[in-house]
Amino acid sequence: MAEAANKTVTVKIEGRVQGVYYRAWTEQTARALGLDGSVRNASDGSVEAVFSGPADKVDEMLRRCADGPPDARVTKMTVTKEGGSVGPGFRVLGTNWR
């Protein structure tokens, strides 16, 4: 039953989210909530993140990401994928230059 309470989402965060401490803030916040996953800058100026863990903690992380750190200005957040699996821990990845 505990398995069903877990949730994994991939989210795209747009606005002024690069160069404003967003990735480091995301890593610290996700770790504080006990989430697994990763965060990285994308080549289009957005930030992409994967959050995995208890559904209520993932939902809380998404709420916090809508504001971000003090200098960020989030204009749009889109869940681009639900489900999947990630390894343990939370990491900051290199920029995704597609």
Catalytic residues: 23, 41
Strand runs labelled E in the chain: 6-16, 36-41, 47-54, 73-82, 90-92
Exposed, middle or buried by CB within 10 Å (0-12, 13-18, 19+), for 58? buried
- CA neighbor of 93 nearest in space, from 48, 39, 17: 39
